[in-house]
Structure 1
Amino acid sequence: MKEKNNDDYFEKQNPSILRSIGGLFTFSTILPLNIYTTIDEMAKMTWFWPVLNGIVGLIAAIIAFILCRFAHLDGLVIGAIIYGFLLIINGYNHFDGLMDFGDGVMVHGDPEKKLRIMKDPMTGVGGIATGFIVGTITIALYSSLIDYSYMISPDFILLIIVAEIAAKIGLTTCCITSKAGKEGIGKYFIKYMNIKNYIVGLIICLIIASLLSMRIGSQIGILGIIGGAFGGALTALIAKRHLKIANGDVLGTSNELGRLFSLLAMLIAISMHFSVLI
């Protein structure tokens, strides 16, 4: 039987918003939903991706709550488990993009050379170091968040959901501020993002984040979304300088940096807000 190529993953189906959303969720996670659609129909819902990713964040938050409430594990252990879970459920796709991006940015040469390096299946020291730095900082941030949930309130665990929403806000921000390359799946997400849809998605996410963080300070959740957008914009800026364009690896990087800066922004706000209590 002839092996199917990657493009066959996107099977032609009767288009609908629900199918497009389901196809996007199937594409971006390892959950066995088995809902497929064309890449164009799926990419049209890119603006909704942050809201959809809140489901992944909810699962991670439930795991964190169980480990805190019943296992009473150290915050660092729980942070590592949560981060590992998020990498696995996303099929390592975004983390793989982060490492490829690290290789491309660190090599000397013109954009064409950097893009060739990013496509190389072998990971160099730039990619390994970038993955280690981002991963270590992210685990440390989760650890601090869990410590606050022990010291003050379990409600801090809900900020894990905010961070996952913000991770995809980072991705959509990168889409809206980047020029697409000529190859790869990433170009479709950039193509179908527009400023109107971006603003609608951003407003929805700000409202959700505000509600999730209401009991500990709604501004904390809002800052988390802003932090995610900053991470995506920073990724786009670096990509423009080194690559001129954005591809799937760049978008994956924006997801990882969006999460990191979201957690960082929220923890700075928490530290300032609750320093008197602690």
Structure 2
Amino acid sequence: MKSVVALLQFCTSLPLGKPVDFEYFARRSYLYPLAGYVIGGIAAGVAYWITSPTVGAAVALAAVLVLSGCNHFDGLLDFGDGLMAHGSREKRVAAMTDRTTGAGAVAAGIVVTLLAFAGLQSTANLPAAILTAEVCAKVAMSYLTTLGVPFREGIHSYLHGFAKPWFLIPATLLALPLFLLPLSRASVALALVVTAVIVVLTLTLSRRIFGGVNGDVVGATNEITRAGIILLLALL
């Protein structure tokens, strides 16, 4: 249970009492999807009682951002700055890791949020969609933590140091309860496949542009995966 509490203290803004040693989670980063069930479950529960798809989508997205403390959204903004920076790899890394917020950050935040909002209000089952998207986003974080070679010291390099290749298996297995949701099995299966594709694309892009992965890349992948899965479910 200490590993789960440490996970939730890291991934959520929920009041969970005295801080637990972060290493409990670091040694079991395959537990990431559990945070997806908590965050997505709460957001789904709130959205369930809202009859307006537009309002429900807005509230659901606001809930996942607030519950996550906007930590991963902050990574998306930094990632956007790094992508939009011109020049050498060093300049791109500097743009991503400094404390200023540039046009790339604003563009990344707006585009990803708009796509998620538009897709979510178009889904046939909004609560199931936000829950599925949030769990898939956390599966992506687990995959990237395991596979993403860090280019600098930080939280990601610390987590990556404990990660083992077999972590991919339990992280995937923890997503299987999604098949119990009122969505077609094909939709859930495709969502997991798309999650893996987004991870591969992010890894490839980050290695080419930044020389590896850091916490900002992992956080951005969470936000991008959530939006991508929501769009997928809306189109299906």
Bin of the TM-score, shorter chain as denominator length: over 0.9
The amino acid of 2:147's aligned partner reads T
Q: Which residue of 2 aligns with 1:22?
A: 5
| Unmatched 5+ stretches in structure 2 | none
Q: Which residue of 1 aligns with 2:84?
A: 106
Q: Distance in 1 between matches of 2:68 and 2:158?
A: 19
The amino acid of 2:218's aligned partner reads L
Q: Which residue of 1 aligns with 2:40?
A: 57
Q: Which residue of 2 aligns with 1:33?
A: 16
- After superposition, give the CA deviation of every residue in 1:110-147 in whole Å (9 maximum; x if it has no partner): 222212111221100011001110010011111112xx
Q: Distance in 1 between matches of 2:218 and 2:18?
A: 23
Map 1:114-193 → 2, pairs under 5 A: 114-145=92-123, 148-149=124-125, 157-193=127-163
How far residue 172 of structure 1 moved from its aligned partner, in angstroms, is 1.7
The amino acid of 1:128's aligned partner reads V
- The one of the two structures with greater contact order (alpha-carbon pairs below 8 A, sep at least 6) is 2
TM-score (norm 1): 0.80
How far residue 200 of structure 1 moved from its aligned partner, in angstroms, is 2.1
How far residue 267 of structure 1 moved from its aligned partner, in angstroms, is 2.6
The amino acid of 1:238's aligned partner reads L
- After superposition, give the CA deviation of every residue in 1:168-198 in whole Å (9 maximum; x if it has no partner): 1111222233211332112122222222121
Q: Distance in 2 between matches of 1:200 and 1:262?
A: 20
The amino acid of 1:50's aligned partner reads P
State the percentage of identical aligned residues: 30
Contact 1:50 1:201 survives alignment (8 Å) = yes
Change over 3 Å in CA distance of 1:113–1:39 after alignment to 2? farther
Q: Distance in 2 between matches of 1:182 and 1:245?
A: 8
- After superposition, give the CA deviation of every residue in 1:29-83 in whole Å (9 maximum; x if it has no partner): 1100024233332211210111332111111111110112xxxx2x222212211
Contact 1:229 1:258 survives alignment (8 Å) = no
Q: Which residue of 2 aligns with 1:88?
A: 66
Q: Which residue of 2 aligns with 1:203?
A: 173
Q: Distance in 2 between matches of 1:254 and 1:233?
A: 10
Q: Distance in 1 between matches of 2:25 and 2:143?
A: 18
Q: Distance in 1 between matches of 2:235 and 2:160?
A: 31
Task: Work out whether 1:243 is the aligned partner of 2:210.
Answer: yes
Change over 3 Å in CA distance of 1:161–1:188 after alignment to 2? same
State which of 220, 227, 233 in structure 2 corresponds to 1:260: 227
Q: Distance in 1 between matches of 2:114 and 2:157?
A: 30
Task: Work out whether 1:230 is the aligned partner of 2:213.
Answer: no
Number of positions where the alignment pairs a residue of Structure 1 with one of Structure 2: 236
Contact 1:228 1:260 survives alignment (8 Å) = no
Contact 2:77 2:105 survives alignment (8 Å) = yes
How far residue 231 of structure 1 moved from its aligned partner, in angstroms, is 2.2
Largest Rg, 1 or 2? 1
- SS of aligned partner of 1:202: helix
| Unmatched 5+ stretches in structure 1 | 1-17, 150-155, 270-278
RMSD of equivalent CA atoms: 1.6
Q: Distance in 2 between matches of 1:180 and 1:39?
A: 19
Q: Distance in 1 between matches of 2:162 and 2:100?
A: 31
Q: Distance in 1 between matches of 2:9 and 2:105?
A: 27
